[in-house]
Structure 1
Amino acid sequence: MPAEGELPEAGEQQYLRQVRHILQHGHRKEDRTGTGTISIFGMQARYSLRDQFPLLTTKRVFWKGVLEELLWFIKGSTNAKELSAKGVKIWDANGSREFLDKQGFSTREEGDLGPVYGFQWRHFGAEYKDMHTDYSNQGVDQLQKVIEMIKTNPDDRRIIMCAWNPKDISLMALPPCHALCQFYVLDGELSCQLYQRSGDMGLGVPFNIASYSLLTYMIAHVTGLKPGEFIHTLGDAHIYLNHVEPLKVQLQREPRPFPKLRILRKVEDISDFKAEDFQIDDYNPHPPIKMEMAV
């Protein structure tokens, strides 16, 4: 907490402070990938969505990847090849033949990730067969329920979407890192809080901040609200050992103003959004920083 009379840190400085804190005070932990991490348990940051969009500027964030992945989630897809065909390869490694075989999914088709985010958002509780099955009207459409609750009972404290389904965890190529989000309406503004059980500070977290901020913009748009705040709560917040040096480079850079996000047409149904409906203005980031993904 800031001392009395001090302004709280805003925007990107919060993310940079978290990275610094982990580097200085984190604990060495082993991890699933065998890469090794420095970790802290329990962190939070708040990003305003009012007339700005929190796409980090101390390195270029892959905006097309953020947008296409979120549209893929909203579609309910679990097929990594669909995303790859759009030029977004972020799920390719987890859907590869080698990775699926290693996880015990040797009979599953390459690219089939199992009942991951999109399936849980749109068909929670349905029985997962494969990535080609039509799951229409099966399970709970959590995303649509969230939208209906915001419209009909905005003060409800149960406006929640959860990707963590214990019954299905063993069927997933990768269990959800961003596990649960809750929405909150106040004075015509929609805010979102995400609980992320596992946060890869170098590669994943900048992406996740943008993704859930975008989801908040989209839900606000279809419910007639304005975007308010994105609150990001992290469980195991970690830095992979092979990201330490790249992040030290990033920490030396001065943040620039966040860009703005424009939605270019009126959309009534969240499933009708297309990539061309969104425009990022005034994004002036520092150059990209190469970081390897731990698989």
Structure 2
Amino acid sequence: MSLADKIFIDMCNDILENGCSTEGEKVRPKWEDGSYAYTIKKFGVVNRYDLSKEFPAITLRRTAIKSCIDEMLWIWQKKSNNVHELISHIWDSWADETGSIGKAYGYQLGVKHKYKEGEMDQVDRVIYDLKNNPYSRRIMTNIYVHQDLHEMNLYPCAYSMTFNVTKSKNSDKLKLNAVLNQRSQDVLAANNWNVCQYAVLVHMLAQVCDMEVGELVHVIADAHIYDRHIPIIQELITRPTYDAPTFWMNPEIKDFYQFTVDDFRLDNYVTGPKVENIPVAV
């Protein structure tokens, strides 16, 4: 069993056995038929993944690595808020007639800010600090910008990354670690998708800044399983598990903005069958 599978199974069991139900309470999300989408939820879930030991893709079912990387590049590299620049259609429900999701996600990462060193957006600031001041305790991004929330078609779920550099005693290279903060997560639909995305991001930044990968710590304020997802989760976590896949990233790429989805792959990725027709609450 991979570490990612164990973390996922333990988290789901904890939510199902010890979580709080929102049934009958005032909730925002609804199903396509108009009924309210209730959840079982846990507060303050923290999962740790050591990226130096394995890539955290679960094997219970296949995580679409190319699609999740494409979305991550859409946000972090293209800094886009238009779904027409995205291969998948996962954001279509939140886009307007022009394809825009408002001043959300990639838009915020592309806004330039004034620093003592000059004007930079948040992504370029992270890269600048990792290269020039790696032991800074201020290397972070935040896209939950209150003044722009009214112009976002969806408030950011994964909203902040904090990067921290360490060094192992027996290594000449620095090690890049990161904390992903998420206010809310649909465990079935999005958990491993987000974990894989940000694991890839840490790998990318480590490579372009000449570092090794370390830990990804995922902090979820509200980790929830929707009521209509419960039987799907119960079946999923009883499936056979397999060894973690091998992550490959093009070692020739040294510029963060030169990566494409074709520069990544998972080798020896053995998984259970795809989960079909997952209902999505909006």
TM range (shorter): 0.7 to 0.9
- Post-superposition Cα deviations, 1:136-188, rounded to whole Å, max 9, x if no partner, equal xxx85111111111111111111101111111111111110001111111112
- Worse overlay, 253-262 or 233-242: 253-262
| 1:11–1:46 Cα contact (<8 Å) kept | no
The aligned counterpart of 1:293 is: 280
- Corresponding letter in the other structure for 1:250: L
Mapped contact 1:51–1:260 kept (Cα < 8 A) = no
Deviation at 1:239, TM superposition (A): 0.5
Tell me the CA shift for residue 10 of structure 1. 3.8
Corresponding residue for residue 32 of structure 1? 28
What is the correspondence of 1:1-295 to structure 2 with a 5 Å cutoff?
Answer: 10-29=3-22, 30=25, 31-33=27-29, 34-73=36-75, 74-83=77-86, 86=87, 88-95=88-95, 100=96, 109-123=97-111, 140-187=120-167, 188-290=174-276, 291-295=278-282
CA contact (8 A) 1:42 1:237 kept: yes
How high is the sequence identity, in percent, across the aligned residues? 32
Q: Distance in 2 between matches of 1:59 and 1:197?
A: 25
Decide whether aligned partners of structure 1 residues 125 and 167 sit closer, same or farther in structure 2, where only a CA change above 3 A counts.
farther
Q: Could you tell me whether the CA contact under 8 Å between 2:65 and 2:265 is conserved in 1? A: no
* Secondary structure of the corresponding residue to residue 203 of structure 1: helix
Distance in 1 between residues matched to 2:264 and 2:181, nearest whole Å: 26
Judge conservation of contact 1:13–1:255 (CA < 8 Å) in 2.
Answer: no
The 1:186–1:37 alpha-carbon spacing in structure 2 relative to 1, beyond 3 Å, is same
In 1, are the aligned partners of 2:3 and 2:56 still within 8 Å (CA)?
Answer: no
Q: Give the gaps of 5 or more residues in structure 1.
A: 1-8, 101-108, 127-138
CA–CA separation in structure 1 for the residues paired with 2:21 and 2:113: 37
Structure 2 SS opposite 1:209: helix
Paired with 1:124 and 1:62, the residues of 2 have a C-alpha distance of 32
Structure-1 residue corresponding to 2:33: none
Root-mean-square deviation over aligned CA pairs: 1.9
8 Å Cα contact 1:94/1:173 also seen in 2: yes
Contact 2:110 2:121 in 1 (8 A): yes
AA aligned to 1:229 is E
CA spacing shift, 1:51–1:14, aligned 2, 3 Å: closer
Task: Summarize deviations over 1:93-116 as a string: whole Å, max 9, x none.
Answer: 221xxxx5xxxxxxxx34110111
- Mapped to 2, the partners of 1:148 and 1:272 lie a distance apart of 17
Structure 1-normalised TM-score? 0.84
Distance 1:165 1:260 in 2: 37
Whether contact under 8 Å (1:81, 1:92) holds in the other structure is no
For the residue of structure 1 that corresponds to 2:224, the secondary structure is: strand
1:43 to partner: Cα distance: 0.8
CA displacement at 1:230 relative to structure 2: 0.9
Task: Compute the TM-score of the two structures, normalised by the length of structure 2.
Answer: 0.87
Question: How many aligned positions are there?
Answer: 261
Find the aligned partners of 2:275 and 2:104 in 1 and give their Cα distance: 28
Structure 2: distance between partners of 1:195 and 1:220: 19
Preserved CA contact (<8 Å) 2:179 2:218? yes
